Structure 1
Amino acid sequence: MQIAVSPVPLNSVLAASLLTVIGAACFLGTPVILAAAVGDLVLSETQVGVLGSALLSGSAISAVMSAFLVRRYRWSLLAFMALLVEASGFLAASVVDTLPAILLPIWLASFGGGALYSLAMTVLSDHPQAVRLFGFAISVQVAFQVLMLLSMPWFMVPGGLADCLYALLGLCVIGACLIHLLPAQSAGSTNLDTMSVAEVLNQPKALLCLMACLVFFISIGAVWAYLERLGTLSGFAAVQLSQVLAGGVAISILGSITAVWQGSQYGDLLPLGGASAGMLAAVVMLQVPMSMMQFFVAFAIFNFFWNYSLSYQYAAVARIDSSGRYVAATPAFHSIGGAVGPLIAAVFVTSEQLIAVNVVAGIALLISFTLFYMALSTRRHA
């Protein structure tokens, strides 16, 4: 079955960009949600990890499913269903007061959010200036994350977890008002039949890009999970750490803005290589002991190139696979890599020595760029 639709209009671009924020709310708000949950649910460090896993794993699964559904049904319908699941999860989680009771609702919120995020990124991938739109969407996401971090003190009080979840529920309501702005389907003619597993496996270049995205986020996950320990072992107080995190995340907006300004004038491979080199330099700097300035500069550089790279990762996948299904699956691979990174590092770290974090992150960055190079350089000569 074939349908023809017009290119993605501006109002659809803006709506999709805002929907990426709502879809990624569980991930973007993870530090705040966990901080509020520690007080209200009295969680141990192990239980914090369990809840954090629930915040991430649902989106990984739904993003994989989205790759097979995103071109089959109307986007407004898919967005509505995803928002309904996400909102229901937040609402149910707000009325429970134990860890076992909150795990399923939070997982459902993550599941719905992941589907919404994948759909919104697919909408943006259909635009001729996809790189710039990805950069714009990521900038909006980072701005939201900064606001969430700044709001953390308001939610770290008795009852703060419910208030935090109500705020995220409110975002879902706003999202419901935006879905009518989404186009019916992709630009141009689109085959609405779902891909078979054989068709998925028959695109090795796209799979290489997805594996590169996964390995890239192994580095992200390893560093992000142990940032607090890196700072603590360097002698920084909790207030100082929170200021560094907020400042580093704020600076990362410049990375996505740079991608918006630069666009595709240098292709995808060169920016990806530059980002990997910059992040490697930051990883080398993040070694205990270090000064507060060294910690801040390293974290800011790491975040800058992380967000700069994301736009080109999505663009690389979109250029290789015009169907958009692999773009929809990209967040799933990011989520899986982000969850695996801390687990790999945890095998080797000790309470006093975290050099394994740097080693895991550095190796992952090198492997990730190698995979991108194999996919993109081959494509140029195909």
Structure 2
Amino acid sequence: MEPSRYTGRGAQILAIAVGSVALLMLGLQPLLLGALLEAGHVTLEGVGLVAMGEIVALGAGVLIGDMRLSVRHLRPITALAALLAAGMDLLTTQLQGDLALGLVRAGAGLAEGLLVWSTTAVIVRASTPERLAGLFFVIQTLAQALLGLALAHLVIPTAGWRGGFELLAVLAVGVATLAALFARPLGPLTPTASQAGVGMTWTRPRLGALLAVFLQLATLGAFWAYAEPLGTRAGFSPVAVQTLIAAGLGMQVLGGSVGTWLVKRLPIHATLLVCCLALGLSAFGVVRTAHGGTLLFTGLCAVFTFTWLFMLPFQMGLAFRVDGSGQVAALVPAAQLFGSAFGPLVASLMVTGDEVAPVPLVATAFAVLAALTLPLTRLRRRMAAD
């Protein structure tokens, strides 16, 4: 059964605003958690745990929304989740210690996950959900970049690291206000068959689609979490590699824009397979950049970061290919977030001391597994649907 599509511009604008604010912290973690570390409020070991805890809780929030909440109550849930996120951001400024900050940021991640769920509820009911998802990925990346610049050059120099979390709280309160202002456009959002994940038959293609998304994001997370030390290992200075990583953000925006434009023009399975190959070969090529491969490393990072956002609209397209009701598509953000957390976790287990040589191999392995998973997503009766 096809879901009722809701194409109101007001709901779509709100969805993109809500999701962009919800995912800001993911892009700002290195900046804000680094500031917490410099201030002595968290230990070096604790930084990774706090970051991972927030990402995992974010994914859990999406799942809770998909499986336990009704979109009939989307407006109050969005408003309350935004206020909870704002409260957690403000509480962060008053605490210190790995455990305390880990619990608070996990609470923030849970609220942020509910906001992402509300965004997905609108996207999957759009007339062209793949393109709206691609637009969302591009805008939220730009939002992270712009706010990161503002924090680094304006907020933190004048208001300190606390000012960064206070700004996040203000933006979250703004989202809660928008949820009330856009009450009428959000009204028609109602589930058609059942809530996502409830009463749905879990077929091989549906499970395979979520597994493929999970593994692709694990590839990204494993490599990008160690991009700075890998760049230093290739011969870049610390400032140069940070500049390269910032430039990678521009390649992500370019990739997301191109992917949004092409998602209706290219075959879903074949494109995602090429993306797996591009990610795997890029990561594997980094092995050859040790001690003097700066030019090669730059090129490989450009391919890697372009592919990153380019493939995300196709992931949403794959979800709709295996399940036209949109229930699998609603779970895609959770699969992406859990993959983003799982990749760095596995990579960290392979790292010994300061030696990051195994990381590209871990990312390559995830890319290969993702490619091997894609055949599972093909529908038996529509093999030629691409």
Same fold per TM (> 0.5)?
yes
What is the distance in 2 between the residues matched to 1:318 and 1:32? 36
The verdict on how the C-alpha distance between 1:82 and 1:16 changes in structure 2, with shifts beyond 3 A counting, is same
Matched, 1:341 2:343: yes
Matches within 5 A, 1:78-89: 78-89=77-88
Tell me how far 1:302 sits from its aligned partner. 0.8
What's 1:112 paired with? 111
What's 2:328 paired with? 326
The verdict on how the C-alpha distance between 1:226 and 1:191 changes in structure 2, with shifts beyond 3 A counting, is same
What's 1:293 paired with? 295
Matched, 1:144 2:130: no
Give structure 1 stretches of 5+ with no counterpart: none
What's 2:371 paired with? 369
What is the distance in 1 between the residues matched to 2:236 and 2:105? 32
Tell me how far 1:57 sits from its aligned partner. 1.8
Tell me how far 1:158 sits from its aligned partner. 8.8
What's 1:49 paired with? 48
What's 2:186 paired with? 183
Q: Partner of 2:192: helix, strand, or coil?
A: strand
What is the distance in 1 between the residues matched to 2:333 and 2:120? 9
Count of matched residue positions in the alignment of Structure 1 and Structure 2: 377
Q: Partner of 2:291: helix, strand, or coil?
A: coil
Identity of aligned residues (%): 21
Q: Which amino acid aligns with 2:164?
A: C
Q: Is the 8 A contact 1:209 1:375 kept in 2?
A: yes
Q: Which amino acid aligns with 1:211?
A: L
Tell me how far 1:152 sits from its aligned partner. 5.1
What is the distance in 2 between the residues matched to 1:326 and 1:5? 15
Tell me how far 1:333 sits from its aligned partner. 1.8
Tell me how far 1:201 sits from its aligned partner. 5.4
Q: Which amino acid aligns with 2:221?
A: G
What's 1:283 paired with? 283
Q: Which moved more, 1:200-209 or 1:76-85?
A: 200-209
The verdict on how the C-alpha distance between 1:324 and 1:91 changes in structure 2, with shifts beyond 3 A counting, is farther
Q: Is the 8 A contact 2:67 2:195 kept in 1?
A: no
Q: Partner of 2:266: helix, strand, or coil?
A: coil
Matched, 1:307 2:317: no
Q: Which amino acid aligns with 2:186?
A: P
Tell me how far 1:374 sits from its aligned partner. 1.8
Q: Partner of 1:289: helix, strand, or coil?
A: coil
Tell me how far 1:379 sits from its aligned partner. 6.1
Tell me how far 1:211 sits from its aligned partner. 1.1
TM-score (norm: length of structure 1): 0.89
Q: Which moved more, 1:156-165 or 1:235-244?
A: 156-165
- Could you report, residue by residue, the CA deviation over 1:317-371 in whole angstroms, capped at 9, with x for unpaired residues? 1332334333232222222222222222233333464332122211211211322
Q: Partner of 1:41: helix, strand, or coil?
A: coil
Give structure 2 stretches of 5+ with no counterpart: none
Q: Which amino acid aligns with 2:95?
A: V
Q: Is the 8 A contact 1:72 1:194 kept in 2?
A: no
What is the distance in 2 between the residues matched to 1:335 and 1:31? 17
What's 1:153 paired with? 152
What's 1:262 paired with? 262
Q: Which amino acid aligns with 2:335?
A: F
Q: Is the 8 A contact 1:221 1:342 kept in 2?
A: yes
What is the distance in 1 between the residues matched to 2:41 and 2:236? 25
The verdict on how the C-alpha distance between 1:67 and 1:204 changes in structure 2, with shifts beyond 3 A counting, is farther
TM-score (norm: length of structure 2): 0.88
What is the distance in 2 between the residues matched to 1:6 and 1:322? 12
Q: Which amino acid aligns with 1:184?
A: G
The verdict on how the C-alpha distance between 1:201 and 1:374 changes in structure 2, with shifts beyond 3 A counting, is same
The verdict on how the C-alpha distance between 1:75 and 1:258 changes in structure 2, with shifts beyond 3 A counting, is same
The verdict on how the C-alpha distance between 1:356 and 1:201 changes in structure 2, with shifts beyond 3 A counting, is farther
Q: Partner of 1:340: helix, strand, or coil?
A: helix
What is the distance in 1 between the residues matched to 2:305 and 2:360? 15
Tell me how far 1:294 sits from its aligned partner. 2.7
Tell me how far 1:28 sits from its aligned partner. 2.1
Q: Which amino acid aligns with 1:105?
A: V
Matches within 5 A, 1:27-176: 27-69=26-68, 71-151=70-150, 153-154=152-153, 160-176=160-176
What's 2:232 paired with? 232
Tell me how far 1:5 sits from its aligned partner. 6.5
What's 1:242 paired with? 242
What is the distance in 2 between the residues matched to 1:72 and 1:14? 17
What's 1:216 paired with? 216
The verdict on how the C-alpha distance between 1:273 and 1:377 changes in structure 2, with shifts beyond 3 A counting, is farther
Q: Which amino acid aligns with 2:224?
A: W
What's 2:203 paired with? 203
Q: Is the 8 A contact 1:66 1:118 kept in 2?
A: yes
What is the distance in 2 between the residues matched to 1:294 and 1:156? 35
The verdict on how the C-alpha distance between 1:290 and 1:219 changes in structure 2, with shifts beyond 3 A counting, is farther
What is the distance in 2 between the residues matched to 1:159 and 1:98? 21
Q: Is the 8 A contact 1:71 1:185 kept in 2?
A: no
Tell me how far 1:233 sits from its aligned partner. 2.1
Tell me how far 1:156 sits from its aligned partner. 5.7
Q: Partner of 1:128: helix, strand, or coil?
A: coil
The verdict on how the C-alpha distance between 1:293 and 1:151 changes in structure 2, with shifts beyond 3 A counting, is farther
Q: Is the 8 A contact 2:263 2:317 kept in 1?
A: no
Tell me how far 1:77 sits from its aligned partner. 2.2
Q: Is the 8 A contact 2:248 2:302 kept in 1?
A: yes
